[in-house]
Amino acid sequence: MNAGKTLSAQLMEFVPWDTFRRSVARYGGDHRTRTLSCAEQYRAMAFAQLTYRESLRDIETCLSAQAAKLYAMGFREPVRRATLADANEGRDWRIYADLAHRLIGQARVLYAGEDLGIDLDNTVYALDSTTIDLCLAMFPWARFRAAKGAVKMHTLLDLRGNIPSFVHISDGKMHDGHALDLLPIEPGAIYVMDRGYIDFPRLFGLHQAGAFFVTRAKSNLDARRISSAPVDRDTGLGCDQTVALMGYQTSQNYPDRVRRIRFRDPLTGRSLVFLTNNFELPAAVICCLYKSRWQVELFFKWIKQHLRIRRFLGTSENAVKTQIWIAVSVYVLIAIVKKRLNLTASLYTLLQVFSVSLFEKIPIESALALKNPMLEMVGADSQLNLFNF
């Protein structure tokens, strides 16, 4: 009996297929393709992300075990690992990057009203990068060091909902500061970043664009105090100063004033010095904003633990970028499903449930219920009692 669509098919209904088809046409993804279209490739790779498949053979075997349900999941014929490998190597990764960006746009609208934990109207972003290690012998194009390969995933995380609003995948040698050249600058937004992004010409570019930055100062910062504001030392604040950057080159690169805030962490006893071009927010809020930067670290940890971006199903640059972009799109897709269906479960719980029930023909809400309604269809009289003695 057909009880409805599989969970996999229900999830794929949230994918903007019109946008996807336009991207496929733009990059010629399905040109001269007889088997495994780009849409089927995406479904297969998304299946691998959701069910923690570690190899092409795993994907082929698991899908073949449910051959009767493949058509309902959007596959015209069985998925062969050689065909999927060729698709990952040859189909332009920008098809899946465009899809991820479209999903990101939808998710940001859905999560725009999320509580930031700080009373702010500004959009707050956390900028950071994570390095994904690769074997140089298998990925010779990803040279990082003399005997090590890697790619970097530069991410700008919207802290309302922890949605990645910007992702750039580069080789491992790209310096973090160069990512500032690629960011879509939003006037009035606050960009929180660590010391690796201190590049005063680029920070001054943010300042001139009407955006704000919050970062940590390096220990060798040369600055002259212009004025000081009173602070409550009982809160851990040490000073709130307006400073001018010293040194000929530095003062030329950032000729305007900067705000310097010193804070002593009561838990660790560490003294932290923050730099910002925002002179309106209270010093305590600036410290809280920098603390919120940790969310991007948790995002990287989460996707490395729960999505497949540490073991790759292809060795070419195109295959690696395809897999990373599909992983990002799956993360955002689950976030969209959670919001649109008003699900209270965490993203972790959603992934765990989907990983074992993608072939089930039950509504998504029922799959997450503590009490499965399908079990209630079985009458009490028909249930065997193992302890009737």
Cβ neighbour number for residue 73 with a 10 Å cutoff: 21
Q: Where are the domains of the chain?
A: 7-95+315-372, 205-280
pLDDT at 372: 46
pLDDT at 381: 43
Instruction: Quote the CA–CA distance of 264 and 270 in Å, as a whole number.
Output: 6
Its pTM surpasses 0.85: yes
Relative orientation angle of helices 81-90 and 38-51, to the nearest 10 degrees: 110
- Give first-to-last CA distance, the chain, whole Å: 35
Single-letter amino acid code for the residue at 93: W
CA-based nearest residue to 330, from 91, 164, 183: 164
Q: May I ask the CATH architecture of the domain 205-280?
A: Single Sheet (2.20)
- pLDDT, tens digit, 9 for 90 and up, residues 167-221: 999 988 899 999 999 998 999 999 999 999 999 999 999 999 999 999 999 988 9
Instruction: Quote the CA–CA distance of 274 and 217 in Å, as a whole number.
Output: 6
Single-letter amino acid code for the residue at 320: V
Instruction: Quote the CA–CA distance of 47 and 61 in Å, as a whole number.
Output: 12
pLDDT at 3: 56
Low-confidence ranges of the chain (pLDDT < 50): 1-2, 370-389
CA-based nearest residue to 161, from 101, 110, 213, 99: 110
Relative orientation angle of helices 347-357 and 294-306, to the nearest 10 degrees: 10
